[in-house]
Structure 1
């Protein structure tokens, strides 16, 4: 089947109500939560403004990110070409053009809802993450700030106002993790020479990136209160 035929079928599927939900049901257990878009049926991205979920990212967001990547790479690509490129990319699967990026994002969509830093899961439980996902899970849960917040929540203790957003991130860890994964894959498509890293290294790096962001926000909060 030609690429044009695949794209035509994809366009038809976008108009079907509940298509994203059906897709997620096919790859993610019902006990896990993840979302790719707030729109149903799926519609083309807005031109202006901002949106959080990967499939809802506006053309403005995509172009701004692309401009930064091109600037950092000292690229001479013009703004008009970048806009056209991002509009075309927006209609591809997951808003990504490269098949490897699409495959990695699909893998990430399966992994993301399994990362539950604040949920107490014993190693013998059916829901316990195993293998590579288990490694990522333990990496997050070993963080001092995560253990502290888990203890506070379990004890019914008060959470500092500055940390409520971090608690929200940890409760729905898939949101910042999947959002950052999409951004990284989008950036790799734009850079002329993508970094030579394995899928495992990339996904581990995404986890580390979210953790570092949390640490920075906590440190900033402590500096303000000192």
Structure 2
């Protein structure tokens, strides 16, 4: 609401605004957040609800770039005009041009006459000629040509029937994967833990492949449907497909071949580095019929390790309002941490008043730093987070303001309630689902680009980065929900 109000006070930014005068969603995502406000550099502007200092700082940052934003809007108008003149239809104009327009505004100021149109044309040609023929239109033409589509469907059916099937359990190697997770966190903090050999051993033993094969079989728990990777009891053979929409994509293991390649093309800045369209499609057919929908073993191990991390996530404590979480023994346990109508944020059985600090009650004598506060190994086990890696991510997540709001809403709201916070609270009860969906997308992109993960530090950066991304996404959703309509959240009381 603060940003919306400040934005409406600007003039000359209509091209970046919605019909009611506020900034477009893509304006916020592509321009305002990363290039103007920069929440990582200005934490006071990052909260869901801003205090007085945050409001003042956000207002000052936007007004300081007001001239650049006006010039950016002017460049976007010119680029759209030249785009129509050149009869370019490929891609979403806002996704492709918003940040380039901000760059042009910063370097050149406002577009001026013929020179501005010439610069706009050169920019458009640079953007669209860098595809090397790897366009969504070329993809559609390739998969819809009748004879070729028949051949591709035969290849797809053959690859699916040749899948390696075995009776692996989804948690057969959870102890080693958890050990790798913890070794990665200690290595990142400078401890002499040697995570490299652990990762090498898991790759050599094909642990990622084994867990991926287990997802093809129906499982009483931790199956592909439980993890949020498919809407079916077990994954089904993907179809070839011929349409896709980024706003309505299927779950990762349910996506068509067209959708999988489409998302790769849409997310690539320089498509020349990608294989040709025919190679992309045939390789994707093989990939879609492989464990985890990935070809590289190191990425399958990364998926299995991320799955182990995800199953231990409990941002609302060891599960709010009757949810479940992963205990230290590796099995889910029902939470009984509701006390006097309040939930213990850390999921323990202590009174709510002792848990209100969100970072208190940990063993400072252990001397291990994680996520900005001190963590002891004994505390991790006693508090049910299961491992140091889970403690790091859960500790960061539980300090989020929107998690506190969602937790109170989940405890106090009646059964069957709905609303923006109810949706977020439901998502937080099963956090492994959004986490694994986002992890799969990143691993799939790396697999297409032949970017394996062989360093333990790189693995942790990847897994931790996905967690941060999910947290930021939830924060944005709550901010948008609170902006759209007021939501009544039970007020917390001091004990």
* TM score, norm. by length of structure 2: 0.38
Q: Which residue of 2 aligns with 1:138?
A: 395
2:474 to 214, 219, 223: 214
8 Å contact kept, 2:446–2:452: yes
* Residues 153-162 or 214-223, more deviating: 153-162
The Cα shift of 1:127 comes to 3.2
- Say if 1:202 and 1:126 are closer, same or farther in 2 by CA, change over 3 A: same
SS in 2 for 1:183: helix
| Number of the residue aligned with 1:57 | 255
Q: Aligned ranges for residues 83-122 of structure 1 at < 5 Å?
A: 83-118=281-316, 119=319, 120=337, 121-122=347-348
Which deviations, in whole Å up to 9, do the C-alpha atoms of 1:171-205 show, x marking residues without a partner?
A: 11011000100101111223366799611111110
Displacement of 1:213 in angstroms is 0.7
Is 1:154 the equivalent of 2:411? Answer: yes
- 1:11 is aligned to 163
Contact 1:32/1:114, CA 8 A, preserved across alignment: no
Cα deviation per residue 1:70-99 (whole Å; 9 max; x = unaligned)? x41232643222211211211222111111
Matched-pair contact (CA < 8 Å) for 2:299–2:443: yes
Give the direction of change, closer, same or farther, for the CA distance of 1:9–1:106 in structure 2 (3 Å limit): farther
1:130 and 1:31 map into 2 onto residues whose CA distance is: 24
Q: 1:51 Cα deviation (Å)?
A: 2.8
Q: Give 1:177's match in structure 2, choosing from 422, 435, 444.
A: 435
Counterpart residue number, 1:4: none
Q: Judge conservation of contact 1:176–1:210 (CA < 8 Å) in 2.
A: yes
Q: How far apart are the structure 1 equivalents of 2:282 and 2:470? A: 31
Unpaired stretches in structure 1, ≥5 consecutive residues: 1-6
Deviation at 1:28, TM superposition (A): 6.0
| C-alpha RMSD over aligned residues | 3.4
Take 1:40 and 1:161, find their aligned partners in 2: how far apart are those partners? 28
Listed as ranges, the gaps of 5+ residues in structure 2 are 1-158, 176-218, 320-336, 338-346, 349-378, 487-495
Does structure 1 residue 205 correspond to structure 2 residue 403?
no
- How far off its partner does 1:106 sit? 0.8
Tell me if structure 2 keeps the 8 A contact 1:117–1:137. yes
Distance 1:88 1:32 in 2: 27
Equivalent of residue 224 in structure 1, options 484, 487, 494? 484
CA pair 9-100 structure 1, distance change in 2 beyond 3 A? farther
Structure-2 separation of matches of 1:59 and 1:115: 31
In the alignment, the residues of structure 2 paired with residue 10 and residue 192 of structure 1 have an alpha-carbon distance, to the nearest angstrom, of 23
Choose 104-113 or 188-197, whichever is displaced more.
Answer: 188-197
* Deviation of 1:27 (Å): 4.7
- TM-score, with normalisation over the residues of structure 1? 0.77
